[in-house]
Amino acid sequence: MHMVSFQAAQNIERVVNHEGVEKSMLTEYFEANRLHEDARSILYRDFPEWYTWQKRIVSAHPAEGERYYLRVLLNHVTGATSYEDLRTVNGEILPTFREAAERRGLIEGDNTLDESLTESTLYEMPSSLRWLFATILSMGKEIESFPLPDIQEEYDTSIGVTREIFEESTIELNVEDTYLSDSLNSDQRAAYDEIMSAIDRDEGGVFFVDGPGGTGKTFLYRALLAMVRGQKKIAIATATSSVAASIMPGGRTQIINSSLRRSYLWDSMRHLKLVRNMRAHSDPWFAEYLLRIGDGKEVTNRDGEVRLPDEICVSRTGKDTDLDTLIDNTFPSLDANTSGPDYITSRAILSTRNDSVDRINLKMISRFQGDEMVYHSFDCAVDDPHNYYPPEFLNTLTPNGLPPHVLKLKINCPVILLRNIDPANGLCNGTRLVVRGFQRNVIDAEIVLGQHAGKRIFLPRIPLCPSDDEMFPFQFKRKQFPIRLSFAMTVNKAQGQTIPNVSIYLPEPVFSHGQLYVALSRSTARKNVKILAVPDAGNKKRNSNDSKKKSSTCSKNESCDYLVGTYTKNIVYKEILTS
Ligand SMILES: Nc1ncnc2c1ncn2[C@@H]1O[C@H](COP(=O)(O)OP(=O)(O)OP(=O)(O)O)[C@@H](O)[C@H]1O
């Protein structure tokens, strides 16, 4: 496996005996690993960043067989000191680079889906196996390729009702929810009575319940669903996003393409408004503050920024360690709590952008106790026979909504689902899970929040494409487990969820409508919210110039505490609230 190039006219013997001919970039890399401890943590492809390299690293085409698999290994394994070392996995020397790459999970085996079923049969319940099998089929595997008995229809057409009515009328009533109507607040009560009386009078009608996050919309819907189903009537729960549907009993997803407000139905709807933040009802000052933030009515300074309550701001030194302080505040005594049932699900750090979220998640998984399991994705560019987009390039991409190429997990770590796999069973984009076990081709996870909490599921790797297919000049496909770590997540992903201990990391200000409100309103009280808001670079400069002026320069609308405290942008488009 050592190539030497030479001119056709050259004497072969002289070429072979030429001084240094036995050396290649790769043999020198092995040598550096032998000699220098520092080198052993560096991947072959990253070597030129640390050592002087006088040639370009060449790429390899999958059709080149062993040379290609050697290249795959070099892209993922550090510290190798010889070819044999590269072929060694868990102490066993494998005959080929291909087998070594497959054993390390770096290339896709021919039968990974079948293997994921086999692995699960060792310790899985029949219902979970059925679910895993259905998921595998929905990812494109033909049912005929399995030796199965004839399919028997469970639904009996002779009963005389359509399947949809049969299914809806067999949704189990959530008994606990039947008591919710006793504790509605006055806004919720007014909405509940108006809707229920239209149902009782058999009148029909369309109602639009409007209210910022945390004002108890879901609570109201659950009370209504329980009452209607308790009367043996049919109530179909739908929502525009699956995660919203999954927090309602028997919820289904309904994609609404055009805005309701532009619909001809809008004028005939009865509009019911909820305003009191119920999530934070134990902290009335904070509930009022949230209302002003949500409505864009909180007093701003001359840069249009709102002041954050002092007690939620973590102290800032301007150094990288500030983020560690936020992490320590959010996950105190982590080691003692890794396996506790509520600890890990009741806290999260929210940020606006994926790169910040990824950074925090990587910090957290290395702090988390336990053995690490690393799953590599299998990436390809569809229809790329000339290998213009080699896997080592594709591996570096992590478009929005896709899992990373290198997915590092530990037992009991929290993850979030990135696709709607089975919304009716609570598995949708945004569902939070905790990892309970792993095999090479399946991950055992437990749903930890919402009405399906406690359900165990087995996730296979599935092929995923970016939702925005214009993102790259080629069609990108990544086969990976459809999850990301969720110690941290984006504010958008957290919408609709209650996170009792929430921290917010804003290395730059929020950039979209209502984002600050959504982030702050995830928790139940001021004392459970922490925020690290780095001042906007432009404003910071202005602020420091202003600090030389007297505070009498504050205008009527401004807080004159302008020069103390932490300020940040709150983006609220009035036209969205008033249209
Ligand atoms: N009347 C009530 N009594 C007690 N708790 C309530 C009441 N209404 C709502 N809550 C609680 O307040 C929290 C927020 O309520 P809910 O999730 O229904 O709000 P939401 O408007 O649907 O929020 P989001 O828009 O963020 O999804 C929940 O923990 C809920 O149990």
Model confidence at 561, pLDDT cuts 50, 70, 90, reads very low
* Residue 175 reports pLDDT greater than 80: yes
d(CA 308, ligand 1 centre) in Å: 23
* Residue 132 reports pLDDT greater than 90: no
Mutation probe of ligand 1 site: the residue of 187, 188, 208, 218 with most atoms within 8 A of C-beta: 218
Place of tokens 């002289």: 14
d(CA 348, ligand 1 centre) in Å: 19
Would you list the domain boundaries of the chain?
12-104, 111-147+370-484, 164-273, 283-367+487-537+565-578
* Residue 397 reports pLDDT greater than 60: yes
Contact 370, 570 (CB under 8 A): no
What is the predicted pLDDT for the residue at 480? 94
Comparing 363 with 259, the larger pLDDT belongs to 363
Average pLDDT over residues 537-557: 47
What pLDDT digit, counting tens, does each position of 18-71 carry?
777 777 778 888 888 888 888 888 888 787 777 765 555 566 777 778 888 888
Task: Give Cβ neighbours of residue 287 (< 8 Å, ≥ 6 apart).
Answer: 276, 277, 280, 281
Average pLDDT over residues 429-441: 90
In whole numbers, what is the pLDDT of the chain averaged over residues?
83
Comparing 149 with 255, the larger pLDDT belongs to 149
Average pLDDT over residues 79-106: 91
* H or E element, residue 186: helix 186-200
Between 83-92, 135-144, 543-552, the lowest mean confidence (pLDDT) is in 543-552
Nearest of 219, 429, 297, 18 to residue 7 by alpha carbon: 18
Average pLDDT over residues 367-377: 94
Indicate which residue's Cα is closest to atom 2 of ligand 1.
184
Model confidence at 552, pLDDT cuts 50, 70, 90, reads very low
What is the predicted pLDDT for the residue at 225? 92
> Is the shortest distance between the CB of 486 and ligand 1 below 6 Å?
no
Indicate which residue's Cα is closest to atom 5 of ligand 1.
278
What is the predicted pLDDT for the residue at 578? 55
Average pLDDT over residues 254-276: 75
| Distance, CA of 500 to CA of 490 (rounded, Å) | 16
What pLDDT digit, counting tens, does each position of 477-516 carry?
899 999 999 999 999 888 878 899 999 999 988 888 889 9
Fold of 283-367+487-537+565-578: Rossmann fold (3.40.50)
What is the predicted pLDDT for the residue at 559? 47
* Residue 553 reports pLDDT greater than 60: no
Average pLDDT over residues 97-107: 88
* Nearest ligand 1 atom to alpha carbon 247: 17
> Is the shortest distance between the CB of 188 and ligand 1 below 6 Å?
yes
> Is the shortest distance between the CB of 496 and ligand 1 below 6 Å?
yes
What is the predicted pLDDT for the residue at 555? 45
d(CA 114, ligand 1 centre) in Å: 43
Cα–Cα distances (Å) from 286 to 190, 279, 310, 365, 530, in that order, read 24, 10, 12, 32, 13
> Is the shortest distance between the CB of 128 and ligand 1 below 6 Å?
no
d(CA 174, ligand 1 centre) in Å: 17
| Distance, CA of 549 to CA of 544 (rounded, Å) | 9
> Is the shortest distance between the CB of 300 and ligand 1 below 6 Å?
no
What pLDDT digit, counting tens, does each position of 234-250 carry?
888 876 655 555 556 66
| Distance, CA of 480 to CA of 460 (rounded, Å) | 8
Average pLDDT over residues 410-418: 94
Indicate which residue's Cα is closest to atom 13 of ligand 1.
279
Contact 338, 344 (CB under 8 A): yes
d(CA 498, ligand 1 centre) in Å: 8
| Distance, CA of 268 to CA of 572 (rounded, Å) | 27
